[in-house]
Homo-oligomer: A and B are copies of this chain.
Amino acid sequence: MMRLWTFLLLLLATAASAQPIRWQEQYPGVWKGTFGKPDNYTLLSAAGATPQAATLERLQSVDFPLPKMEVHAELIDGKTYLRFPLQKNEQIYGLGLNFQTVHQRGKILNLHVDHYGGKDNGRTHAPVPFYVSSRGYGVLVNSAQYLTYYVGTGVRKDAKVPAEVKDRNTDKSWNSRPYSDAVEVYVPTEGAEVYVFAGINPLDAIKRYNLFCGGGALPPKWGLGFTQRVQKLYTADEVIKEVAEFEEHGFPLDFIGLEPGWQSKAYPCSFEWDKGRFPNPAALVKKLADKGVRLNLWTNPYISPESPVSKAIEPFTGSHTVWNGTVPDLNHPDAKRILAGQLSRSQIDIGISGYKIDEVDGYDYYLWPDMAKFPSGISGVQMRQTYGVLAQKLTDSLYRQHNKRTFGLVRASNAGANNMPYVIYNDYYSHQDFITALVNSGFCGVLWTPEVRGSKTGEEWLRRFQTVVFSPMAMINAWSSGTKPWSFPEVAEKVKYYAQLRMELMPYLYSEFAKYHFEGTPPFRAMVLEEGFQGQTNASLNNQDLETNPYLEAVNKEVKDQYMCGEYLLVAPLFTGESTRKVLLPKGNWYDFYSGRYVGNGEEIVAKPEDDRIPVYVKDGGIIPMTTARLHVPAAGEKVNLVIRHYGEKEGMYNLYDDDGLSFDYEKGAYSWRRIVLKRNASGKLEGDISAPAKNKPNTIGTVKFEFMGQ
């Protein structure tokens, strides 16, 4: 009898530990799964992410994209084990801002907010626990804990696909990586919350994810202009002088970034102006505004004992300090209130346009240890995983109160903050890795800039500048080097050309960001998200020295050095020392951006650009709305004249976005899409047309001309 009871109890316990995930459809193609007892505080709750419900509701209904019976959840050793099936030849992308890899299958990632350390091991600025499958679905684990992902590495005894056992002694086809049929995730809590996003293709799944997190960020127009961050100890006078220099050089400039020296104390921070270097900040802001230039301020969140808020905020700070400054509990209403008060009074109310939120990522020895305690009750780990998100939310909310969009920088983010208008940057500087991060940013709902800081040669300066203008934030960060765009005279003209090109492309870029917000389509994204892109995904065993790699890993080639900038532009950067490179073109005809000439179709070509240009190609039928080069984005109410380029042969249409470029009124409907149509007339000649401006909506478009690059 005792045995029977014991047996029944065991059965119950096992049943409880292997309870299935409870799935609930949230929107067409969006399911929420709950297992056990998930944390209350999560990535999505930290971000306050609110889905774009109306848009999501209108999406096409899709089946649950995985065989539900093969999605497994189990409590093991007090932690939640999640398993999602993989098929052969299925590739996985995402899982955070990786700098060296695009293909994540076969990787093990310990997702942990940190400054990137040189290896794609999960420690990165935005270790987003969202992955996208080549089969067209995405999976998000909504947890603010440190998560371990085994992306098709573990092989279970009871796996469906039988093991192909080989004898390494004699079988040359022995593979050190046996086939694995699942993504396995370990969540160190007694439950978890999962979201599955379906789609007709991977990009479609990503769009659902972005929409679910509130849509992508829509920057103010000025945020997409050019920005220069000045040397850290600049004074107000030096800033004014800098602006004048930009004017003299005829170089575009929309906002200047002030580095730590604007504060009276930094590391840790006072959050108040240094009276010596900035005796009259309000006057400075106004003077710059009159010249069409805004100001962005560097800060980190660590509070100096000499800050005016230091005493008041102390009860709402963590147990440990960072650079001897207290750590405000950004999850605590009082800490937020006090800090927000200081930021408002001292900076936002006088017209500062944004922040660069530094050092919210790592390293471990700078920030608080995992066991640090915070008054709001979340753990040191949860705070680490969401501190960048909380900092973005706090500052962004202050601008929302002013009905003014901001655009800034941050060094850590996570899932749910997709709609936050901040761009990630870091202290690393490998140009190749910077581009791979840009490629990956589109998978995880973050923005990344391959900022330009210094260079050893003019060639390097140009190459870096060329990619930063094809990125979310066109920036030179001269906090230390003091370099100017024209610091390398031998390439100064070419650098200016690209800064001007950035301004000319503004209507296109702004519309692509609008699509990020309204449709969830990331403006900078990987080639694999393009229809008809083959890539080079064949694994091949290279001859390797057994001494250094005794396990003969199969090397999987992936495309990490070219990306899509918006719907039509394919950017294939050249790095220092290169004058030529291979470019992989997706299926369809592609055309040179500069000349309009046809270059290829679904093949690998060799780019040998003239004039040290960066190779850029345009999809057939590409419609690129451009404007004339200018020093600053249009002022409020100003109309700009457009030149709309068409490339290739195809007919097509493009929705051009229009709003006031400054406020949040678009959230209440103060925007419009102007429909551009390219069609062949009766004689077979391409003709362009744009719909009339919408009544009672912001209209910033003047005259419209069409330029047919294909003729």
Contacts and interface: CB of A to CB of B under 8 A. Distances in A.
Contacts of A370: 148, 186
Given A320-B157, A365-B153, A368-B154, A169 B550 contact: no
A260 B169 contact: yes
A189 to B, nearest CB: 9
Interface string A150-175: 10011111100001111111000010
Interface in A89-141: 106-108
Nearest to A259: B169
Contacts of A371: 76-77, 79, 81, 184, 186
Contacts of A373: 76
Contact of A176 (B176, B366, B548): B366
A310 to B, nearest CB: 10
Contacts of A353: none
A92 to B, nearest CB: 14
Interface string A339-369: 0000000000000000000000000111011
A76 to B, nearest CB: 5
Interface stretch (A241-249, A321-329, A587-595): A321-329
B263 A169 contact: yes
Nearest to A117: B119
B186 A266 contact: no
A480 B76 contact: no
Nearest to A382: B77
Interface string A238-269: 00000000000000000000001101111110
Contacts of A186: 369-371
Interface string A406-433: 0000000000000000000001010000
B317 A157 contact: yes
Contacts of A480: 546-547, 550
Given A267-B174, A366-B176, A480-B546, A321 B81 contact: no
Interface string A184-203: 10101000000000000000
A153 B365 CA distance: 6
A369 B232 CA distance: 46
Contacts of A166: 267, 324
Contacts of A397: none
A372 interface: yes
Contact of A165 (B81, B233, B261, B268): B268
B323 A176 contact: yes
A298 to B, nearest CB: 11
A453 to B, nearest CB: 6
A178 interface: yes
A304 interface: yes
Contacts of A429: 547-548
A52 interface: no
A550 B318 CA distance: 25
Contacts of A368: 154
A497 interface: no
Contact of A169 (B165, B265, B306): B265
A363 to B, nearest CB: 8
A700 interface: no
A319 B168 contact: no
A379 B321 contact: no
A454 interface: yes
A170 to B, nearest CB: 8
Contacts of A305: 165
A153 B178 CA distance: 40
A324 B180 CA distance: 10
A36 to B, nearest CB: 14
A477 to B, nearest CB: 10
A509 to B, nearest CB: 28
Task: Among A324, A481, A550, find the residue whose CB has the most chain B CB atoms closer than 10 A.
Answer: A324
A165 B365 contact: no
Nearest to A260: B169
A644 interface: no
A177 interface: yes
B265 A167 contact: yes
A356 to B, nearest CB: 14
A311 to B, nearest CB: 13
Given A176-B366, A371-B186, A320 B154 contact: yes
Given A76-B379, A381-B77, A364 B153 contact: yes
A169 B232 contact: yes
Given A163-B324, A547-B429, A369 B169 contact: no
B155 A324 contact: yes
A317 B156 CA distance: 11
Interface string A437-465: 00000000000000001100000000000
A304 B148 CA distance: 28
Contacts of A317: 157
Interface string A504-547: 00000000000000000000000000000000000000000011
Interface string A49-69: 000000000000000000000
Given A365-B153, A548-B429, A163 B321 contact: yes
Contacts of A107: 365
A184 B373 CA distance: 13
Nearest to A187: B371
A550 B260 CA distance: 13
Given A168-B267, A321-B156, A321-B163, A547 B150 contact: no
Contact of A369 (B77, B153, B274, B547): B153
A7 interface: no
A644 to B, nearest CB: 41
A35 to B, nearest CB: 14
Interface of A: 76-77, 79, 81, 106-108, 148, 150, 153-158, 163-169, 174, 176-178, 184, 186, 188, 232-233, 260-261, 263-268, 274, 304-306, 317-326, 364-366, 368-373, 379-381, 427, 429, 453-454, 480-481, 546-548, 550-551
17 contacts: A77-B381, A108-B365, A153-B369, A154-B372, A156-B320, A157-B317, A157-B318, A164-B324, A166-B324, A167-B267, A168-B266, A169-B260, A169-B263, A169-B265, A174-B267, A429-B548, A481-B547
- The 9 A-B pairs of least Cβ separation, nearest first, read A168-B267, A163-B324, A77-B379, A81-B371, A154-B369, A153-B365, A480-B546, A165-B324, A167-B265
